[in-house]
Structures are given as structure tokens and as C-alpha cells.
Amino acid sequence: MTISFVGKVAIVTGAGNGLGRSHALELAKRGAKVVVNDLGGARDGSGASSEASQEVVRLIEEMGGEAISHGANVANFDEVQDMVQQTMNTWGRVDILINNAGILRDKSFSKMTIDDFKLVMDVHLMGSVNCTKAVWDIMREQNYGRIVMTTSSSGMYGNFGQSNYGAAKMAVLGLMNTLVLEGAKNNIHINALAPTAGTRMTEDLMPAEIVAAFAPEAVTAGLLTLCDDDAPNRFILCAGAGGYSSASIFETEGCFIPPNTQNPETVRQHWPELTAQDNQAALASGAKQGEKFVMKAMAFMKSQQQ
């Protein structure tokens, strides 16, 4: 079945270049009306220009699509609200939000300034929060919404020199996990994309021939499966260079230690049981962990009464 976005309105942040540009163009090719958001700054977040986003709008219009550009800084909630209001004034709805905008301020933690840490958190995490907050009530009222967070292997697994970026990219998964629960009754699906692509964010980190293999279009092919009518929910899709995989957080079944023996030495003694992966599972919510531990305690108490 062909994935179509006819009749849908999509906001793509950071859509002037790289992945965002690729996402915006492909959404438009498949029928979406697209808001091309880009502050137009450099890779480190400095400066601003509307040239890149306006060029994407021109390309969309040339192929017969509809698009508008907006230069909101996603870290500024007032600017984001203005972008969403302009979208509503133009098309009357917002169906899809792709939180893609990002910057890099890579340095080892010992050399990184607090300002560089905060700025990356502001753009990646608070940018995603601001944009999602601005469209949330609209999506709830129309009983439809598709939101994609952009995470990263740097957040899930770590990457030297990217403590700020990694922290922000893991944080958006925490945001996703709770919003999935809160948006379920209003048909709002939230997923995450973990891309590896040859963009200006990575161009000087990899040889040219490798950058060419990691074309943004390969990532966009995966992205489109996360924001259509049949999109999954709470899914982390990893994509790059033609490779696609999923990532999940699992928790082991664990063990129970009786109250009168709960000390660090006993916990260490139970390490093999505590870490055994044979019955590990993905938990539907944080409450499920507490539920699991309560059940273990109750089972122990019952065994003592027999």
C-alpha cells in the first residue's frame, strides 16, 4: 500500500538543509502541505538566514505542492507559537510535526562550557518541547496527530565529546514515552527517529565517499513510516546508509531480597539473578516497574505465611 500524506499538514523543523530538507520535500511529493521551518543558522547555532527554507518552499511549489516557510527559533516558544498560528491561519490544522532542528557544540565534558551544554539542550530538547506543546491541543481537538522526535545513537549509547547532545537526545525519548501515554486517547502517535546521515552536521566527521553512502533520503524513507495514518506508536527507528533497525529499552525480571537482608553486600550477591536477561521485557510505563516489585514483595509475604 502506498503511503500518502494527501490532505495532511506537516511542520518540519530545521528543514532548510540536510535531513529536514529531505523530509520536507518527500512529504510534499506525497501530498502534504508543508511548513518549512529553519532559523538558517550555522551548524553551531550561530547566525540566521531565510534563504535555505525559502529555496525548499520554491522546490515544493515547482513540483505542484503547497508550502510556507517560517524562521522560528525552536528554542523560543513565542516564535514557535507564531509559526503554528500562521500554519492554522493558512491551512486550519496541523497533522504532523517532525522535530528535526538541531545544532552541535562538540567538546569533551572537561572542556565544554555550561553555556554550550545549555544551548544544545535548549535547541534539541526544549525545541522539541516547544513545538510539541504548540501543536498538542490542536492535535487533541482534531483527534489526530503524528509527532516524530529525532534521537541519536549518541544519546542511547554515548559518543565521546557529545555529553550535551547525548543528554538532549536521550531526553526526547523520555518526553516521547510520557506523551505516548497522554496522547493515546486522542489518536496522537509519537515515535522517534535515530538517523545516521551525511549532512553538514556530519560532513567533516566522515570521508566524502562514506558521506555519499549516508544520503539523507535513506533516512527519510524510514521517517515516512513513523508519521502516516498507520504509523506505530512509541517506536525508535534507526536508519542510515540503507540500514534499518529498531531500538528498545528492556528491564530484567530481577530478584527479590527479604527486608531483613537488604544491604549492599546482598544486592551484590544477587547480581547474576538481578541481571539475568532470559525474562527481560519492555515496560509499558514507569508504573509497571513499581507494580512488578510490589508483586514480588507480596509473593514473598505470602510464602512466609504458609
Q: What is the domain partition of the chain in residue ranges?
A: 9-247, 259-305
Q: How far apart are CA 27 and CA 227, in angstroms?
A: 10
pLDDT for position 241: 86
Cell output for 150: 529525532
Q: Give me the pLDDT at residue 46, please.
A: 56
Catalytic residue among 144, 157, 165, 244: 165
**Of 195, 252, 237, the residue nearest 218 (C-alpha):** 195
What's residue 22's pLDDT?
A: 97
Q: Which residues of 76-102 are buried (b: 16+ CB within 10 A; e: fewer)?
A: ebebbbebbeebeeeeebbbbbbbbbb
Cα–Cα dist 155/163, whole Å: 8
Run of H or E including 67: strand 67-70
Q: Tell me how far CA of residue 149 lies from CA of 66, 234, 238, in angstroms.
A: 24, 10, 12
The amino acid that residue 132 corresponds to is T
Q: Tell me: domain 9-247, CATH 3.60.15.30, correct? A: no
Q: Say what the pTM is.
A: 0.92
Low-confidence ranges of the chain (pLDDT < 70): 41-49, 197-206
Instruction: Name which of 149, 169, 148, 147 is nearest 157 in CA terms.
Output: 169
165 given a catalytic annotation: yes
Q: What is the pLDDT of residue 281?
A: 96
Q: Which cell is 287 given?
A: 508504573
What does the pLDDT read at residue 44? 54
Residue 198 pLDDT: 60
pLDDT at residue number 39: 86
SS3 label, residue 207: coil
How far apart, in whole angstroms, are the C-alpha atoms of residue 150 and residue 196? Answer: 11
d(CA 190, CA 199): 24
Give the integer Cα–Cα distance in Å for 28 and 197.
21
